[in-house]
Structure formats: C-alpha cells, structure tokens
Amino acid sequence: MQPTATVLVYSDDANTREQVRLAVGRRPAPDVPPVELLECATLPAVLAALDEGGIDACVLDGEAVPAGGMGVCRQIKDEIFQCPPVALLIGRPQDAWLATWSRADAVVTHPVDPVALAGALAGLLRRRTGGGPAARHSPARV
C-alpha cells in the first residue's frame, strides 16, 4: 500500500471544505503522495488534530468564523512544535500582507482555483515530506 499524506482542511463553511476537497482530489501532483483530507470546522478540532500529530500540511480558510484562518495560522505557528506548512485561503488579493503576518507558507484566493490550490499544496508537501509522508510524531504545544 502506498503511503499517504494527511492534509488538515479548516473552514466553518462546508461549501469551502468541499471546494478544497474537489480541487485537491486524491493527489495534487504526480510527484507527491496521495492525500487523505481531515476536515475540521472548529478551532478546537484543528488544535486537537495537530496535537495528535501526523498532519503533513494544512489548508486554512482565512474567512472562517469565529476563528479566522489567519489568526489560526499565527496561533499554530506559535504553539505547535514543527508546525506543518500552511496554505491560507484569502478573500481578496489585498489581504496577502495579512497572510504574511500570519506566517502562512502559501496563499490562494477565494473562490478556490483548483490549479492554484493543487500547485500550492503540492509545493508544501514536497517541502514537508520530500516526496513521502511526514514522520508520525506527537508535536508538543508550547
């Protein structure tokens, strides 16, 4: 069986999570492992999943409420040891400076462009996994 990469998708909007799921498909690029998506609709679910470990990359919705993806990104970058790389979905290109503040590793605008999101996610997975899934570890929160 081929190893998979686990991608956490955070949005309070089921429609946005579906757009991400359809854009990413089973494998965002031929040279990265197949992906398994873990969908989260709340900040506590995101933190619990990251605490459990085994997440190779995250896609966070910057427009999520009440906890927006930009703030969530900044929080997990501060609190999760060896935090997985993050692709941030933003509502307007003008918000890219906020994505920089949040320390996102990649930025894609809403509505989800399948080519842009798949490309950004593949790039994050290449960096994180070197072509294979991340070592399964329990990250420590600080």
Q: Which pLDDT score, from 0 to 100, does residue 130 have?
A: 60
Residue 47 lies in a domain: yes
Residue 142 lies in a domain: no
Residue 71 lies in a domain: yes
Q: Indicate the number of domains in the chain.
A: 1
Residue 137 lies in a domain: no
**Residue 8 pLDDT exceeds 70:** yes
Handedness of CA 117, 123, 125, 131 (dihedral sign): positive
Q: What domain range includes position 25? A: 5-129
Tally: H helices and E strands in the chain = 5, 5
Distance in angstroms (rounded) separating the CA atoms of residues 49 and 93? 29
Distance in angstroms (rounded) separating the CA atoms of residues 42 and 140? 20
Task: Give me the mean pLDDT over the 9-14 stretch.
Answer: 98
Distance in angstroms (rounded) separating the CA atoms of residues 53 and 98? 27
Residue 89 lies in a domain: yes
Residue 136 lies in a domain: no
Residue 135 lies in a domain: no
Distance of CA 10 to the CA centre of its chain: 7
Taking the complete model, does pTM exceed 0.75, yes or no? yes
Residue 141 lies in a domain: no
Render pLDDT for 64-118 as a digit per residue (tens, 0 to 9): 999 999 999 999 999 999 999 999 999 988 888 888 999 999 999 989 999 999 9
Tokens coding 90: 């933003």
CATH classification at residue 114: 3.40.50.2300
Q: Token match 């919705």: residue?
A: 61
Render pLDDT for 104-135 as a digit per residue (tens, 0 to 9): 999 999 899 999 999 999 999 998 766 444 43
Distance in angstroms (rounded) separating the CA atoms of residues 16 and 10? 9
Tokens coding 45: 């679910």
